[in-house]
Amino acid sequence: MTARTAIRTCPLCEATCGLVLTLYGDRVLRTAGDERDVFSEGFMCPKGATLGELHHDPDWHRRPLIRHRGRLVEASWDEAFELAGRLVRTVVEQSGPAAMAAYFGNPISHNLGGLLYAPTYLKALGSPRLFTASSLDQRPKDLVNALLYGDRFTLAVPDLDRTDFLVVVGANPVESNGSLATAPGWPRRLRAIRERGGRLVVVDPVRTRTAELADEHIRPRVASDAALLASMVNVLFDEGLVRLGRLGEFVTGVESVGRALVDLTPERVADFTGVPARSVRDLTRRFAAAERACVYGRIGTTATEFGTLTSWLVDLLNILTGNLDRAGGAMFPLPACGSVNTRGRPRFGPPPRLGRFSSRVRGLPERFGELPTSCLAEEIDTPGDGRLRGLLLVSGNPVVSAPNSARTARALASLDALVAVDPYVNDSTRFAHVVLPPPGPLQRSHYDVHFSTWAVRNVANYSPAVLDLDPGQPQEWQIMCRLAAAFEGRGASEADIDRRHAESTARAAVSDAHSPVSGRTVEELMAAVAPRVGPERLLDLMIRSGPYGDGFGRRPGGLTLAVLEDRPHGVDLGPLRPRLPEVLRTTTGTVVLDPPLVVDDLPRLRAAVTSGPPGGLVLVGRRHVRSNNSWMGNVPSLMTGRPRSTLWLNPADAERLGVGTGDLVAVATRVSTVHAPAEVTERVPAGVVSLPHGWLHEPDGVQLVTARARPGVNSNRLADELVLDVPSGNAVLNGIPVRVTALPADEH
Amino acid sequence: MTHVITQSCCDDAACTAVCPVDCIQPAPGTPGFAAAEMLYIDPATCIDCGCCVPECPVDAIRPDLDLPPSLHHFAELNAAYFEGRRPGPVPPRSVLPPSLALDRRLRIAVVGAGPAGLYAALDLLETGGSGAAVDVYDRLPTPGGLIRYGVAPDHPSTKLAAEAFAAHAGRPHLRFRFGVEVGSDLTPAELGRAYDAVVYAVGAAGARTIGIPGEDLPGSLAAAEFVAWYNGHPDAGAREIDLSGPRAVVIGNGNVALDVARLLVSDPALLAGTDMAQHAVEALSRSGIREVLVVGRRGPLQAAFTTAELTALERLPGVDVVAEREGLDLTPAEERTLAADPILRARYAALRRLATGSPGGPARPRIRLRFLARPERILGSTAVTGVRLRRQVKRDVDGAVTFRPAGAAQTVGAGLVLTSVGYLTVPLPGLPYDGDRGVVRNADGRIVDEDGRPVPGAYVVGWAKRGPNGVIGTNKHCASATVQHLRSDASAGRLAPPVEPPQWLDALLAERCRRLTDWAGWTRLDRHERAAGQAVARPRVKVTSLPDMWRITGREG
């Protein structure tokens, strides 16, 4: 046997880096960034470098588990699907479909099979209550995208490689590899801005590694971004700097926005934000004067008390300076596999799905068919009609990811049916009745259906699986189809479900009057993609009927999956191009800048500004390049070294509390108290403490040997499920008021 | 883009454990690790993730884009190490929970709070978890050993290692007992009665002598004494050292020799910004020494200094460094050695540069590096006036280079001679001693008697175990090897439980040891020194007299 190499796109995060794996048999000897990848050009982070280790994790289950006499034991796939179907159908029969919920964790959006096949089992469940990690993360941005542009995924991403003035707010892409803007190699791209004479401004209370790359680092008070950005917009109006340019044709509500923010001057909000008014005016003037400028905001702007307002203000700054939809500003990608904003009638669409129903306990409105994950536990643990009794958990770990971990854990433990599609027995799946493990990352094919819609360059890249499945092991899409069949309970086969799903994809394409395959027949398309099955069949349908596709013969030379299969380093489809107004899917065909759902939240911000900055310490999260939300803590190479689950504390606060680095402190909120080792650092300003998220805390029953050896502190034990960004229902995971006290040293 | 390891590399290899592509070499467990001068990053495989940076206790790792000019040459040195090497498979790693499953919690004493002792204590706690409780003893109230009293004051990054240790001081099951001298306040036998195991980390406080006439003349002293003096060791005090000049000779050419040579001719204004003892700053600012001759008996390839220290010396501001050309020729065997070792080549290239560079002028102080010169006598009647050196020649015998004296002797005038030819562990009454090696008699860390039989429950780490070699982080791996033996002895039932309860020892200490203090006492002294330093723009002003130290820690003198 000799060593061989395999090329594939890393499926772990949004950056979509090309990897070159050197394998001997099925073992990965070494991984390198693919220098020839059209997008990542050799960039790779530690997680990609250890993809092989993840794949071979001995705690990654290869066979399903079912609960037997209180313990999870291995079972056959048939037994597992049978039990899953029986448990779920019992819940639905006894309490109705509304008693069944699904929770999607973030990895599903990085997973070709998982993402494309979600509709099959959701349909089979008969409209379950849906919860996802999005409402712990970017739901405010989703909401603003839907209100301004007509679809939650119609996101204007920073045109990173051409901008001359980038303002990064509440984002740390040097550690996170970037989010809501797919760009492998952020550090290199950020440095390139400065190398071509541009300017990088980072707005973040914390001195992050991204801030260290900046020309300017502005450190506002935690959770004051909405006020800060509102005052920047105010300056645009006040100083006559609004320049819509060609956007004037498609944008309405400009004057109304000016009036709505007229009182939020930099001088008025300076005490609240901690940023001097003249700095704000100066920054705004320079931003407005720049040729190619963009504001980009991330988790620090969304998982906060005023997430929706902040997300809206980010877009307003780009729009009002004419930077939306122009090179070097904030632009809309055009993905090869298509998206909502490439299908149907250009420019016009139905109203977004908002508030058609509400949660049972707190009456929180749905957003895009989802309820806030912050109310998942109460929907389970609050008695009464309509109580949730069953949950399908797909690559999700809400005990670690959702606020108030302890309550979430108790709630999951009480369910009548908990079916998990997950490789691990983790904090959440330890309560499952059935665990269905997908194959390892090297056994799956990959195409970034979702993240190619948010990429800063239009690219298409398909990777086949590197390793074969074990005998009898199903692909993830097969697990999904079999689950759908089990939930239906009508004896459909996996192939039936798959074919129906492909036909409905084809039907949607041929019945779209604006599609290149409009008027063709389903049979014709299905025959053309034969003998492909599974996600490859769907992907071929999507690509060929997509913006660059061959249109099934109508556009010779256009993209097909076969073309991508021949190009393992990807196909470059060029820099982002202007897409307004066709990208819109709004009812008016315009961008309405002052949606009531957002503007009506301004009084809440105004009240916060008026009452002034609260005293005491506030907790923010933080990201590390070796971590990935609630998972990957079981990869030894990512867990070696100094403890990372420490409470960052400014020297002044440390002095006042009498603690030094390494001392144990107690951190308390309404919800809970955790103990963490202190790490004294000037990276956080006085008054701010920081804990990373995603760490384990309750290892009882968790079958993760490495993660248990490095347990860490789960910051979501402290987060309060009752505190939300009101318009979006997103959890507030940054800016949590906490009490910190020193703990006496252990005596022996 | 790559990261680069620079001068202060401490060899603790903490960085290697986090590197996802295994680009930091030589890594522990690989053949070159034990002998490595420092570690290097392969620019061809580094992914520039920066994960290694915070792991480094001495701030040695920098992105290449941010290298200051004084460290630029390390980019080449790092790259040079990988010439002709191909990256192998990335080795699997494991993160294991602590495991020392016994029916009792082991009580372990560590004698000596220098790097070796502290690494041993931390290793015990990390691998033993709650199965181990450690008391660390030191006769001084200042932890860190040679970090405080050995590292040159102009190497502040290296001293950061102390802060990495301090971050662990509050760990559960770890206690410090400062102000207890094992050997006088407590005997090893008494310690043995109170603990399951005792780990000796007593270092090598004695200096080797050359054994030539005149070594005991005033003006001739061990470099170790000079180091202790400028670093403010309380045993060295504020003694008078004649620095009237104009020349000093340093015999021996390891890194300590380069340290003392450098500090003797450094700009006093620079020294005044370091934590050098105040009396030394004052004495050196009045120094008349204009030239330091560093003498090595063997050739440039056998010199004990590291490439990193030599190349740093090249960049010393305001000082001419000259390598004497006569000693630089190589034998065929040496040429072969050079061809096989890129780091040695970099070192030799630096010496060549130093031999051919144009000096800055007679007004500038100077360091001369002389090779192949054997000291025969330190000259003088009532005080040192010079050194007599004899030239050596070398030739290959059976493919290996050998040296022998040849030619005429020459006399070099000097008012100060510092000998830097090695250290010895001072024998501790009650512990077996290996006089040949100058260490506590041991077999890979287990203390053994004359017949090689292990003394139950007695272990040794650091210089007292292996002799005076390596840098700070070398002790981490040295301590880990000893602790592994201790753990396996514990698991195999070879450790006898303490005969006496803890209270017995507490009572003994209360009776004998009025100065006993702990980490809090050190913290008081540390804060005092830093505050005094802040007032005069220095990192700290060291307290150098024992009575003052005890007073500030809160104990009687």
Multiple choice CATH, B106-205+424-516, 3.40.50.720, 3.50.50.100, 3.30.70.580, 3.30.420.590? 3.40.50.720
Cβ atoms A331, A292 nearer than 8 A: no
Q: Rounded CA gap, A445 and A465, in Å?
A: 4
The confidence score (pLDDT) of residue A699 equals: 72
Of B20, B65, B133, the CB nearest to A49: B20
Residues of B in contact with A709 (CB under 8 A): 95-97
Cβ atoms B461, B435 nearer than 8 A: no
Q: Which residues contact B416 (CB under 8 A, 6 or more apart)?
A: B219, B220, B241, B242, B243, B245, B247, B248, B249, B289, B384
Of A33, A708, A710, the CB nearest to B47: A33
In angstroms, the Cα distances linking A583 to A324, A352, A547, A572 are 12, 15, 12, 21
Residues of B in contact with A43 (CB under 8 A): 47
User: Taking chain A (748 residues) in consecutive chunks of 10 residues, what is each chunk's mean pLDDT?
Assistant: 93 97 96 98 97 96 96 97 97 94 94 94 88 97 98 98 98 96 97 97 98 97 97 98 97 98 98 98 98 96 97 98 98 98 97 96 97 98 95 96 94 98 96 98 97 98 97 96 95 96 97 96 97 98 98 96 98 98 98 98 98 93 92 94 95 95 94 94 98 82 91 90 97 96 69
What CATH architecture is B210-421? 3-Layer(bba) Sandwich (3.50)
Cβ atoms B489, B144 nearer than 8 A: no
In angstroms, the Cα distances linking B502 to B131, B191, B192, B487 are 17, 11, 12, 21
Half-sphere exposure (Cβ direction) of B354: Cα atoms closer than 13 Å: 28
Of A18, A17, A16, B23, nearest in space to A6 by CA: A18
Tokens coding B108? 């372990």
Instruction: Please give, rounded to a whole number of angstroms, the shortest distance from the CA of B172 to a CA of chain A.
Output: 5
Residues found in chain B:
557
Longest dimension (CA), chain B: 72
DSSP B144: T
Task: Please give the ipTM for the structure prediction.
Answer: 0.94
Q: Which residues contact A724 (CB under 8 A, 6 or more apart)?
A: A364, A372, A374, A730, A731, A732
Cβ atoms A214, A193 nearer than 8 A: no
DSSP string, B51-108: TTGGG-TT--EEEGGG--GGGTHHHHHHHHHTTT----PPPP----------SS-EEE
DSSP A370: B
Cβ atoms B305, B255 nearer than 8 A: yes
Strands A347-348 and A585-586 turn out to be parallel
Q: Rounded CA gap, B418 and B268, in Å?
A: 20
Q: Cβ contact (<8 Å) for A49 and B172? A: no
Residues of B in contact with A50 (CB under 8 A): 20
Tokens coding A553? 């013969």
Each residue's pLDDT, cut to its tens digit, for chain B (557 residues) gives: 899 999 999 999 999 999 999 999 999 999 899 889 999 999 999 999 999 999 999 999 999 999 999 999 999 999 999 998 999 999 988 888 777 666 788 999 999 999 999 999 999 999 888 889 999 999 999 999 999 999 999 999 999 999 999 999 988 899 999 999 999 999 999 999 999 999 999 999 999 999 999 999 999 999 999 999 999 999 998 788 999 989 999 999 999 999 999 999 999 999 999 999 999 999 999 999 999 999 999 999 999 999 999 999 999 989 999 999 999 999 999 999 999 999 999 999 999 999 997 777 778 999 999 999 999 999 999 999 999 999 999 999 999 999 999 888 999 999 999 999 999 999 999 999 999 999 999 999 999 999 999 999 999 999 999 999 999 999 999 999 999 999 999 999 999 999 999 999 999 999 999 899 999 999 999 999 999 999 999 999 999 999 999 999 987 54
3-class state of residue B316 by DSSP: coil
Tokens coding A199? 């300017």
3-class state of residue A551 by DSSP: helix
Q: Which residues contact B27 (CB under 8 A, 6 or more apart)?
A: B13, B16, B33, B39, B91
DSSP A98: G
In angstroms, the Cα distances linking A461 to A37, A550, A570, B526 are 9, 16, 4, 58
DSSP B366: E
In angstroms, the Cα distances linking A18 to A40, A179, A539 are 6, 17, 19
Of A225, A197, A211, nearest in space to A316 by CA: A225
Longest dimension (CA), chain A: 80
Q: Rounded CA gap, A343 and A517, in Å?
A: 11
Cβ atoms A191, A213 nearer than 8 A: yes
Q: Rounded CA gap, A54 and A28, in Å?
A: 10
- Residue whose entry in the numeric block shows the structure tokens 């507490």: B506
- Residue whose entry in the numeric block shows the structure tokens 């990192």: B539
Half-sphere exposure (Cβ direction) of A319: Cα atoms closer than 13 Å: 27
Q: Rounded CA gap, A131 and A116, in Å?
A: 17
For B204-221, letters b (16+ CB in 10 Å) and e give: bbbbbebebebbebebbb
3-class state of residue B410 by DSSP: strand
- Return the axis-axis angle of helices B255-265 and B307-314, rounded to nearest 10°: 20
The continuous run of DSSP H or E covering B176 comes out as strand B174-178
Of B17, B87, B166, the CB nearest to A640: B17
Q: Rounded CA gap, A641 and B93, in Å?
A: 11
Q: Which residues contact B7 (CB under 8 A, 6 or more apart)?
A: B60, B71, B74, B157, B308, B309, B312
Q: Rounded CA gap, B554 and B141, in Å?
A: 11
Q: Rounded CA gap, B173 and A204, in Å?
A: 39
Of A209, A311, A231, nearest in space to A217 by CA: A209
The continuous run of DSSP H or E covering A604 comes out as helix A602-611
Q: Rounded CA gap, B37 and A616, in Å?
A: 49
Question: CB A384: neighbour CB atoms within 10 A?
Answer: 7
Q: Spell out the domain ranges in chain B.
A: 3-81, 106-205+424-516, 210-421
Strands B433-434 and B320-323 turn out to be unpaired
Q: Cβ contact (<8 Å) for B167 and A661? A: yes
3-class state of residue B65 by DSSP: helix
Q: Where are the beta strands (DSSP E) in B329-415?
A: 366-370, 373-379, 386-397, 400-413
Residues of B in contact with A32 (CB under 8 A): 21, 45
3-class state of residue A20 by DSSP: strand
| CATH fold match for the domains B3-81 and B210-421 | no
Q: Rounded CA gap, A97 and A87, in Å?
A: 13
Question: Using CA atoms in the order A104, A105, A110, A111, what is the torsion angle rounded to 10 degrees?
Answer: -50
Q: Which residues contact B428 (CB under 8 A, 6 or more apart)?
A: B182, B183, B188, B200, B202, B440
Mutation test of the interface with chain B: which of A640, A648, A682, choosing the one with the most B Cβ atoms within 10 A?
Answer: A640
Cβ atoms B194, B107 nearer than 8 A: yes
* Residues of A contacting chain B (CB within 8 angstroms): 24, 29-33, 43-47, 49-50, 53, 187-188, 191, 209, 625-626, 636-642, 660-664, 706, 708-710, 745-746, 748
Q: Rounded CA gap, B531 and B535, in Å?
A: 7
3-class state of residue A3 by DSSP: coil
- Residue whose entry in the numeric block shows the structure tokens 């769907």: A538
Q: Cβ contact (<8 Å) for A30 and B93? A: no
Of B20, B50, B55, the CB nearest to A642: B55
Does domain B3-81 fall under CATH 3.30.70.20? My reply is yes
3-class state of residue A494 by DSSP: helix
Residues of A in contact with B48 (CB under 8 A): 187
Question: Using CA atoms in the order A505, A507, A511, A512, what is the torsion angle rounded to 10 degrees?
Answer: 10
Q: Rounded CA gap, A237 and A313, in Å?
A: 13
Q: Cβ contact (<8 Å) for B50 and A662? A: no
For B546-555, letters b (16+ CB in 10 Å) and e give: beebbbbbeb
Residues found in chain A:
748
3-class state of residue A6 by DSSP: strand
CA-based nearest residue in chain B for residue A748: B173
CA-based nearest residue in chain B for residue A711: B97
Q: Rounded CA gap, A484 and A122, in Å?
A: 8
DSSP A92: H
